[in-house]
Structure 1
Amino acid sequence: MVATGGPVATFSVWDYVVFAGTILGAAGIGLFQAIRSRKDTSSNEFLLGGRQMTAVPVAMSLTASFMSGITVIGTPAEAYRFGAAFWLFGFSYAIMSAITAEIFVPLFYRLGITSTYEVRRGVVLYTGLVIYAPALALNQITGLDLWGVLVATGVVCIFYCTLGGLKAVIWTDVLQMVVMLAGFVAVIARGAILQGGLTKIWEDAREGGRLNAFDFDPDPLKRHTFWTIVIGGSIMWTSIYSINQSQVQRYISCKTLTHAKMSLYVNMVGLWVTVSLAVFSGLTMYSIYKYCDPLSNGDIATSDQLLPYLVMDILAAYPGIPGLFVAAAYSGTLSTVSSSINALTAVTMEDFILPVCKNLTEKQINWMNMGLSVFFGALCIGMAGVASVMGSVLQAALSVFGMISGPLLGLYLLGMFFRTSNSIGGLTGMIIGLILTLWVGIGGQIYPATAKKTNPLQVSTVGCNNTVGQNYTRLHWTSPGNVTVQPDGRPALADSWYSLSYLYFAVLGMLTTMVFGLLVSMITGEICLPFLAPSSTVSDIYEKTETDLPMGLDNSGYIDLEATTKAVTTKM
């Protein structure tokens, strides 16, 4: 019986057919793109799709890239445990899209770069998390060996990345985005039928405190408030979309700047739709399990298995539908992993190999691109093992990006907006920023915040068949491998510094990098005061408002011939 606890059904033959069909579809797209582009083996075609992509497929690819299996697995569990506050990220997506489209994209598109000097360790670790999340789900539903599933995921991604390049990645993302959304719709539709309609689900969520999303408490130590999500979330997502190699690679693959900008705004709508469906799936799950929480009842081992458990509990009677859900989780994974592999390949080739090996032919470069794809695919599979000890996949993934991308965003902003800055200041600021974010992030893993700061909502097991009606309230759930033995006395920093909301990691890293970067630059460099020419500005926003823009103190090591010539001509 549904929602009464105990074991649930496992995969049927039709579920395996649907799941395998999705995986083969992704591989087929890679093979098709390889055959279609067999005459053009240039690095530009492999890494940038020949710069002929249009807005809509790129937008869907942008959405699918970071709305990964982590979103499919983690966001519904987040809404179930903590309520619908995660929906407030819709504000963050809007702010991020505007900043990236109007400030960063014009610069990167004008430069026509292939690499943004992405820090590869952050990408590899995040990709390991992405592989681990749906593998855990498939292991829960089917009983297949966890590491066997991890390796199979990586192999499929390596296959179509190696054969088809960026075009294969983007068009596969389009397919996978559709499958992801279909998985959410299937869960919500079946839940609505069981519970008596969407209105009943909404009422249950309200009565269970799941709709109290607008918490305006300014306390930066509280995990999710309006301010941590809108301010911290905006900076974090901007760091992901503005300078992340896999995202920038998509912008500059567009045929025009207009298409590149439009792709971000269409992507914003895609993010809204995806997060809304994911959160409502979590509310549906709460409506069904409000009297029998599977985690408290011992039916599952981690909160990341909540949605897979629900799928097998309510959809097992419909052959093929559980397979669709697992395909949805895997579609997000394949999208993100393939994006990361393609991005890592681009960075390594452009920044390390081509500057040293300048006489390589296009054919040799293409073979090296394929070899790098295989190498980084294998590396990401290995990092999935590290991901298994990092706790809730959703928070772990966003924490990784906050810790790494925040200081990187600060470094980019330092160079883009402050001609005062120099390389010594930028490097020093970024190192200090990384030290602080890694310190607070790792400290938070060792000494998790208390329930008072994370505020998990009430659950119950009174409706479970194999319990005696015990209520569980204010639970603090952790994943296996993330259970930390607490000392008798927590250090003083545990309930202050280490309890900082993970959404502020990026803000901390960005501000630290910029402040220390400017200070060190002013100390180490001689200073003068030239004008900044329009062609040297970061965005067409400035070009529309100012002809010449005095930017204050400048490092004498920087010589802007165009600006100097223009200034001299004006004086004459």
Structure 2
Amino acid sequence: MQKLYWIDWIVLLVTLLGIVAYGTWQTRGSKNVQDYLKGGKTSKWWTIGLSVMATQASAITFLSTPGQAFNDGMGFVQFYFGLPIAMIVICMVFIPLYHRLNVYTAYEFLENRFDLKTRTLTAILFLIQRGLAAGITIFAPAIILSVVLGWNLMLLNIIIGILVIIYTVSGGTKAVNVTQKHQMVIIFSGMLVAFFIIISKLPQDITFNKALEIASASGKMNILDFSFDFNNRYTFWSGIIGGTFLMLSYFGTDQSQVQRYLSGKSVKEMQLGLLFNGLLKVPMQFFILLVGIMVFVFYQFNQAPINFNPNATEFVLHSEFANDYKSLQQESDVIFNNKQKHITSYINSENPDSEKYIASTNNANDDVRKKAKSLIAKAAEKQNIKIENNDVDYVFIYFILNNLPRGLIGLLLAVILSAAMSSTSSELNALGSTTTMDLYKRNTGEKTEEEMVKASKWFTFAWGILAICVACIANLAENLIQLVNIIGSIFYGNVLGIFLLAFFFKFVKGKAVFIAALITQIIVISLYFLDLYEFINLPFLWLNFVGCAIVITIAMILQLTHKNDRTITT
């Protein structure tokens, strides 16, 4: 387990407690619903843009994405190719409509267009998926920090959750927005510092360009994949098609994002904020992946463990497979030493085949890492204990704790926890708003401003407690960033289809949409589990497109066969 020095503790605590205190103090005294749920509609475009970005960029982004690049290269950036397209569509279609109707949540529009039951169903679908995601955004950094630092997992979940609850409940949407600006500054600063420190720790004769060449020789710089291979999760086509539908649904219909830009001072401010996010998000993700690539290059010159999860390594070394694991470690040492010769030859252009040898030695090391994971899994199965053998999410934090100077470790830990707090606060804020406006107010009649604010605070608090509970019982998936996107993909396509029906298919009525949405959700969940158990091959990103297409098709068929249903239009 790693040890933090006093300077790291000071940096970490001052940063986190400062954010909580600032958010609570700046937004004290929100007395009416407009202030509490829409932040008084005073946000400028840069605040909206940074808030939207901070909501999406959770701790999972800064923990998992570098590890994703370390393992699989830059191809994951294709996941975001649909984002700019989605931003343009939302600015042209969604924002003007939401502003004209003066809605508090995206789902209010659906009652005007369809009926109450469609609004309620869509709101419930959002609450389910976002409630689960809120727990994961707390759990993700907690589980990893608990492993590498030896901190108590449940206590970490509770601390992160309570810090977020304090200022989110206190100040509502404005508290989320004002704190996220500062959290993004911390996050960007921390990642830039980490990047330059990695470069500085490479051998003196290894420039940034040479580092990229080494990564390229190992196949890590392959960004674009134009194949239609469904065995490949991330391709140009899955990013442009599946990614566009996912981003349309996330930014256009997910209240955690919609609430960010509904706080805008005007339609122009909202649109500029989203366009700012669309322009900056892909380069930001590219940079975070590049950090992971530089970590990969660093470990071309410095011996890496065959598994970055220290708990998993310790466990297998105290099992009956200890000798087998030690043999794999020795095999990795031999591969590493051979690789140094080929890298030196490649840099000095001494051997035209050296690039091929670098790739082959890295492939051999990957095989050793796979065998290590298999041994860990066998040891866990033998003792009937759950041990996470996949170490993608541990790569970056392992590097931070073992290679960064004192003080900067505290800063990077603050980056991770700030990201967790920023995304979780947006989610809790949106969960509280949706529960208040779409379920509580709509089904209990008119309430006073004070009663509505009080109800929203209590619902936000309740969702915060539920998120902490989900975090305390959650289990690690193959990769945390994928887990969040999988949960979203299961629900987002259906929800987006409902909104597209509302926007563009005026002849379709509420009853047809409601039935189609129920059927579609069952189908999409079934498709996911059929893929999970390898009965079919459908990467999760495509669920966004498939779900959207299915709900639109079924609703149109039902409407055409039930022409007597009454029209409810805006």
TM-score by length of 1: 0.79
Correspondence 1:377 to 2:464: yes
Gaps of 5+ in 2: 108-122, 313-390
The partner residue of 1:501 within 539, 550, 565 is 539
Correspondence 1:309 to 2:398: yes
CA contact (8 A) 1:134 1:326 kept: no
**SS of equivalent to 1:128:** helix
Shift of residue 501 of structure 1? 1.4
For residues 224 and 286 of structure 2, the distance between their equivalents in structure 1, rounded to whole angstroms, comes to 16
Shift of residue 90 of structure 1? 4.5
Q: Which position in structure 1 is the counterpart of 2:548?
A: 510
The partner residue of 1:255 within 249, 265, 269 is 265
Shift of residue 503 of structure 1? 1.2
Correspondence 1:99 to 2:89: yes
Matches within 5 A, 1:168-317: 168-195=175-202, 196-290=206-300, 292-296=303-307, 299=310, 301=312, 302-315=391-404
Q: Which amino acid aligns with 2:416?
A: A
Shift of residue 525 of structure 1? 2.4
Q: Which position in structure 1 is the counterpart of 2:386?
A: none
Q: Which position in structure 1 is the counterpart of 2:529?
A: 442
Structure 1 stretch displaced more, 193-202 or 40-49 = 193-202
Q: CA distance change for structure 1 residues 217 and 559 in 2, over 3 Å: closer, same or farther? A: closer
For residues 321 and 403 of structure 1, the distance between their equivalents in structure 2, rounded to whole angstroms, comes to 38
For residues 224 and 280 of structure 2, the distance between their equivalents in structure 1, rounded to whole angstroms, comes to 23
Shift of residue 262 of structure 1? 0.5
Q: CA distance change for structure 1 residues 216 and 389 in 2, over 3 Å: closer, same or farther? A: same
Q: Which amino acid aligns with 1:76?
A: P
CA contact (8 A) 1:97 1:264 kept: yes
TM-score by length of 2: 0.79
Matches within 5 A, 1:409-488: 409-445=496-532, 447=533
Shift of residue 86 of structure 1? 1.7
Shift of residue 168 of structure 1? 0.7
Q: Which position in structure 1 is the counterpart of 2:44?
A: 54
**SS of equivalent to 2:529:** helix
Shift of residue 193 of structure 1? 0.7
Q: Which amino acid aligns with 1:285?
A: V
Structure 1 stretch displaced more, 109-118 or 170-179 = 109-118
Matches within 5 A, 1:38-53: 38=29, 40-53=30-43
Q: Which position in structure 2 is the counterpart of 1:143?
A: 150
CA contact (8 A) 1:140 1:309 kept: no
Structure 1 stretch displaced more, 198-207 or 296-305 = 296-305
Q: Which amino acid aligns with 2:237?
A: W
Gaps of 5+ in 1: 1-6, 448-493, 527-554, 561-572
CA contact (8 A) 1:108 1:248 kept: no
Q: CA distance change for structure 1 residues 234 and 300 in 2, over 3 Å: closer, same or farther? A: farther
Deviation readout 1:224-250 (Å, 9 max, x if unpaired): 111112221121111110111021112
Q: CA distance change for structure 1 residues 439 and 292 in 2, over 3 Å: closer, same or farther? A: farther
CA contact (8 A) 2:147 2:310 kept: no
The partner residue of 1:81 within 71, 74, 79 is 71
Q: CA distance change for structure 1 residues 100 and 293 in 2, over 3 Å: closer, same or farther? A: farther
CA contact (8 A) 1:294 1:300 kept: no
Shift of residue 20 of structure 1? 1.1
For residues 100 and 43 of structure 2, the distance between their equivalents in structure 1, rounded to whole angstroms, comes to 16
Shift of residue 421 of structure 1? 1.0
Shift of residue 365 of structure 1? 2.3
Q: Which amino acid aligns with 1:336?
A: S
Q: Which amino acid aligns with 2:97?
A: L
The partner residue of 1:155 within 125, 147, 162 is 162
Which structure carries more relative contact order (alpha carbon 8 Å, separation 6+)? 2
Higher helix fraction (1 or 2):
2
Q: CA distance change for structure 1 residues 279 and 42 in 2, over 3 Å: closer, same or farther? A: same
Shift of residue 97 of structure 1? 1.1
For residues 82 and 407 of structure 2, the distance between their equivalents in structure 1, rounded to whole angstroms, comes to 36
Matches within 5 A, 1:25-40: 25-35=18-28, 38=29, 40=30
Deviation readout 1:45-80 (Å, 9 max, x if unpaired): 011011111110111000000111111011111111
Q: Which position in structure 1 is the counterpart of 2:340?
A: none
Deviation readout 1:187-242 (Å, 9 max, x if unpaired): 21111011133223212210110011221111234211111122211211111101
CA contact (8 A) 1:172 1:335 kept: yes
Deviation readout 1:408-453 (Å, 9 max, x if unpaired): 00111011110121122212222232122212323444x3xxxxxx
CA contact (8 A) 2:74 2:223 kept: yes
Deviation readout 1:151-176 (Å, 9 max, x if unpaired): 11110110001111111100111111
Matches within 5 A, 1:371-410: 371-410=458-497
Q: CA distance change for structure 1 residues 197 and 191 in 2, over 3 Å: closer, same or farther? A: farther
Shift of residue 141 of structure 1? 3.5
Q: Which position in structure 2 is the counterpart of 1:349?
A: 436
CA contact (8 A) 1:85 1:224 kept: yes
Instruction: Give % identity.
Output: 25
Q: CA distance change for structure 1 residues 91 and 559 in 2, over 3 Å: closer, same or farther? A: closer
**SS of equivalent to 2:265:** coil
For residues 330 and 175 of structure 1, the distance between their equivalents in structure 2, rounded to whole angstroms, comes to 13
Q: Which amino acid aligns with 1:183?
A: G
For residues 96 and 390 of structure 1, the distance between their equivalents in structure 2, rounded to whole angstroms, comes to 28
Matches within 5 A, 1:311-326: 311-315=400-404, 318-326=405-413
Q: Which position in structure 1 is the counterpart of 2:136?
A: 129
Q: Which amino acid aligns with 1:283?
A: I
For residues 390 and 90 of structure 1, the distance between their equivalents in structure 2, rounded to whole angstroms, comes to 21
**SS of equivalent to 1:355:** helix
Shift of residue 277 of structure 1? 2.0
Q: Which amino acid aligns with 2:20?
A: A
RMSD of aligned residue pairs (Cα, Å): 1.9
Structure 1 stretch displaced more, 25-34 or 236-245 = 25-34
**SS of equivalent to 1:294:** coil
For residues 297 and 341 of structure 1, the distance between their equivalents in structure 2, rounded to whole angstroms, comes to 32
For residues 504 and 387 of structure 1, the distance between their equivalents in structure 2, rounded to whole angstroms, comes to 25
Shift of residue 295 of structure 1? 4.5
Q: CA distance change for structure 1 residues 559 and 218 in 2, over 3 Å: closer, same or farther? A: closer
